[in-house]
Structure 1
Amino acid sequence: MSQGPAAVLIGPPGSGKSTVGRLLADHLGVPFRDTDGDVEAVAGKPVSDIFVEDGEERFRELEAEAVRAALESHDGVLSLGGGAVMHEPTQKLLAGHPVVYLQVGLDQAVRRVGLASARPLLVLNPRSRLRALMEERRPVYERLAMITVVTDDREPDEVAAEIAAAL
């Protein structure tokens, strides 16, 4: 039975959870898993299609279940969707896990996700929407994190190495 993930990466869109997560997993010699990929596998369609066809509420249900299952069974690096931490039961499940908050500034996040992004929550006025999401979620990210790493103006491998050293 797994003791849980070696690291759980949280943060807003564009913080580098997937990119840094893969590098960190390689560095630690463990597998990488992204709960958005788990949701897509269960639903049989991309996250953006789930939002459009089934609604955000259905996506959040699938996401909460994917996070729960991954925390119970995955022993590598786990990347959560940016909004997964807003679900109170998920916050409780994260207690005791090595949660790493990848902090990113708005300008860097916008550059990384692009303004023509297929991210469903950023469709209308993406820069303003991303700013609002980041401000709303920041206190939760900070409260849940055991480790916070700033990713602005840094190479992903440098961020992964810092996390590995901190773990």
Structure 2
Amino acid sequence: MTVTTPTAVLIGPPGSGKSTLGRLLAERLGVRFRDTDADVEAVAGKPVGDIFIEDGEDRFRELELAAVRQALREHDGILSLGGGAVLSEETQALLDGHTVVYLQVGLADAVARVGLGAARPLLVLNPRSQLKKLMEQRRPIYERLAVLTVATDKREPAELADEIIKGLGR
């Protein structure tokens, strides 16, 4: 069995642009795009929000870790991880040696992109406050794991893709 490695692994909070930018990067680099949240949904047969509600966050995190592990082993394109995937120490260890790109976003831009009415399971009740808390909690982990950090606020995806491609030495 041939072991592959992703061209780049995108991490960051909800609203940082992992999916949008990931698809654009994959297209520009001529590689495939993969999102571990989509992998989790495919395995569970239901949306992430339903997994949280029906099965709980612990079950979601189990499925997420399995999806990350598999994708890192077999995907050779652009890989986007769910915003909370980096909370797992095992995921952090798995990311060691990979080209991890942290998409940094401020609260105002994240809120504008996510939308406060969106079906984000960890953002129920007070979405703005919850998102701020998640971002503050995860920021040090994102920063530590990243080999490249790109600020996304007030910037167009095409401009960000150019910066990342340059940062990847492509």
For Structure 1 versus Structure 2, the TM-score category normalised by the shorter chain is over 0.9
* Structure 1 residue 160, shift from structure 2 partner: 1.1
Identify unmatched segments of 5+ residues in structure 2: none
* Structure 1 residue 157, shift from structure 2 partner: 1.3
What amino acid is the match of 2:118? Answer: S
1:43-96 Cα offsets, whole Å, 9 max, x none, are: 000000000000000000000000000000000000000000000000000000
Percent identity for Structure 1 against Structure 2: 73
* Structure 1 residue 3, shift from structure 2 partner: 2.9
Q: TM-score, normalised by structure 2?
A: 0.97
Match of 1:111 in 2: 112
Match of 1:36 in 2: 37
* Structure 1 residue 161, shift from structure 2 partner: 1.2
CA distance in 2, matches of 1:66, 1:43: 11
Match of 1:59 in 2: 60
Q: Mapping of 1:1-167 within 5 angstroms?
A: 1-167=2-168
CA distance in 1, matches of 2:158, 2:18: 12
Q: Does the 8 Å contact 1:117/1:123 carry over to 2?
A: no
* Structure 1 residue 118, shift from structure 2 partner: 0.3
* Structure 1 residue 2, shift from structure 2 partner: 3.8
Q: Does the 8 Å contact 1:9/1:17 carry over to 2?
A: yes
Secondary structure of 2:154's counterpart equals: coil
Identify unmatched segments of 5+ residues in structure 1: none
Which sits farther off after the overlay, 63-72 or 156-165? 156-165
What amino acid is the match of 1:150? Answer: A
Residues matched between the structures, number: 167
Q: TM-score, normalised by structure 1?
A: 0.99
- Which stretches of structure 1, 4 residues or more, deviate above 2 A after TM superposition? none
- Give me the CA root mean square deviation: 0.5
